[in-house]
């Protein structure tokens, strides 16, 4: 009912609407309208009231509430079901639980704050309340399990494509880190449940630093982390950015289902800053590093590098660009 009231106010945003008119339209009492208005105000909606004139929506909260994200959202699969939390330990954990309970393809789990979020290589992810975009997607593609790692690159391309819509230049470092001035803006973690020849589900977790000032980052990561607002020079609406991102992800996901990953890889190459560079590589599970030149990615998204011993492949690990 609150969703219906907000949509009613949005559609008449330049005018006061009487409680009686809202009540009659939604077939509820005026007292019920008043109670819902109070709850909406507590959620952050700025709704003014005027005697004998009614209510008027003055300002929307920059909270990633399902009603706000789904309003005018133009997707076919992604975001038809959105589960919102104000605070949670990990959106990926909840996504895996829900996926195991048969939640639908394209379900989004989003949080204002994560208390135990993790990125690649089990690294923690800093996420002050309502200043980041922290979400996980449940995907159920009819593909073989070996295709699953490619969705990490898809997620990076989706974020990069959304950034371009906001006049922000993306720089992807293999496989999926998005950087600004050498500092990390976006982290992506992909997990999967599968059988020998079938993907049960893929969970793609994404954390984006949006409106975090540099001095807000803890000292230990201040030199390696950045935010979209720092790139833009001003704060960005998280709601609007998230809607654009889900629409980009939806289009790319449909592209993959219909035509495979070729377009994803082409876009990844376009946005990347790794290929052609001298890099340091620490393979996953190893401590020994080696140096190489990043040549390309193969049809699986694996990084192809040239070392003094010849061509090698990096399947997972930590890559840094050498100046």
Q: What is the mean pLDDT of residues 62-84?
A: 94
Q: Indicate if 283 and 258 belong to the same structural domain.
A: no
Q: What is the pLDDT of residues 162-209, one digit of tens each?
A: 999 999 999 999 999 999 988 999 999 999 999 989 999 999 999 999
The reported pTM is 0.85
- Do residues 184 and 177 make contact, with C-beta atoms less than 8 angstroms apart? yes
Specify the 3-state DSSP secondary structure of 258.
helix
Average pLDDT, the chain: 91
Q: What pLDDT, on the 0 to 100 scale, is given for residue 167?
A: 95
CATH number reported for the structural domain that contains residue 97 in this entry: 3.30.930.10
Domain finish residue from 59, 81, 96: 59
The sign of the dihedral angle between the CA atoms of 175, 177, 183, 184 is negative
> In the numeric block, which tokens belong to residue 123?
């690294």
Domain finish residue from 13, 38, 59: 59
Q: What is the pLDDT of residues 239-248, one digit of tens each?
A: 999 999 999 9
Instruction: Give Cα separations from 182 to 10, 119, 173, 295 (angstroms).
Output: 41, 18, 10, 20
Q: Indicate if 36 and 117 belong to the same structural domain.
A: no
**Total domains in the fold of the chain:** 3
Q: What is the mean pLDDT of residues 85-95?
A: 95
Q: Indicate if 174 and 47 belong to the same structural domain.
A: no
Specify the 3-state DSSP secondary structure of 82.
strand
Q: What pLDDT, on the 0 to 100 scale, is given for residue 123?
A: 52
Neighbours of 177 (CB within 10 A): 20
Above 70 in pLDDT, residue 132?
A: yes
Q: What pLDDT, on the 0 to 100 scale, is given for residue 120?
A: 47
Q: Indicate if 49 and 102 belong to the same structural domain.
A: no
Q: What pLDDT, on the 0 to 100 scale, is given for residue 185?
A: 95
Q: What pLDDT, on the 0 to 100 scale, is given for residue 126?
A: 67
Domain extent at residue 302: 278-321
Q: Indicate if 309 and 179 belong to the same structural domain.
A: no
Q: Indicate if 50 and 131 belong to the same structural domain.
A: no
More confident residue, 224 or 13: 224
CATH number reported for the structural domain that contains residue 48 in this entry: 1.10.10.10
Specify the 3-state DSSP secondary structure of 193.
strand
CATH number reported for the structural domain that contains residue 299 in this entry: 2.30.30.100
Closest CA to 158 of 181, 139, 131: 139
Q: Indicate if 51 and 122 belong to the same structural domain.
A: no
Above 90 in pLDDT, residue 76?
A: yes
């Amino acid at each position: 009912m609150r969703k219906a009231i907000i949509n009613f106010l949005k559609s008449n945003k330049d005018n006061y609407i009487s409680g009686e008119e809202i009540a009659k339209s939604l077939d509820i009492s005026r007292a019920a309208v008043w109670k819902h208005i109070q709850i909406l105000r507590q959620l952050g909606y700025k709704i003014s009231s005027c005697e004998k004139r009614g209510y008027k929506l003055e300002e929307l909260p920059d909270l990633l509430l399902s009603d706000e994200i789904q309003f005018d959202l133009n997707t076919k699969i992604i975001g038809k079901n959105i589960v919102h939390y104000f605070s949670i330990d990990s959106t990926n954990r909840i996504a895996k639980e829900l996926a195991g309970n048969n939640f639908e393809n394209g379900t989004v789990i989003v949080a204002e704050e994560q208390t135990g979020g993790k990125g690649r290589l089990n690294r923690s992810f800093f996420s002050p309340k309502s200043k980041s975009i922290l979400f996980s997607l449940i995907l159920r593609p009819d593909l073989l399990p070996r295709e699953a790692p490619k969705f990490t690159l898809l997620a990076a391309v989706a974020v990069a494509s959304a950034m371009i819509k906001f006049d922000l230049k993306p720089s992807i470092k293999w496989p999926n880190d998005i950087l600004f001035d050498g500092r990390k803006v976006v982290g992506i973690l992909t997990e999967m449940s599968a059988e020998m020849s079938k993907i049960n589900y893929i969970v793609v977790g994404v954390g984006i630093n949006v409106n975090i000032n540099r001095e807000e980052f803890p000292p230990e990561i201040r030199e390696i982390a950045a935010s979209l607002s720092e790139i833009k020079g001003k704060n960005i609406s998280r709601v609007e950015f998230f809607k654009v991102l889900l629409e980009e992800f939806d289009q790319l996901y449909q592209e993959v289902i219909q035509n495979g990953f070729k377009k994803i890889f082409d876009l990844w190459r376009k946005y990347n800053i790794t290929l052609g560079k001298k890099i340091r590589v620490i393979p996953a599970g190893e401590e020994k590093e080696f140096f190489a030149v990043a040549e390309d990615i193969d049809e699986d998204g694996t990084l192809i590098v040239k070392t003094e011993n010849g061509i090698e492949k990096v399947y997972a690990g930590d890559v840094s660009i050498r100046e």
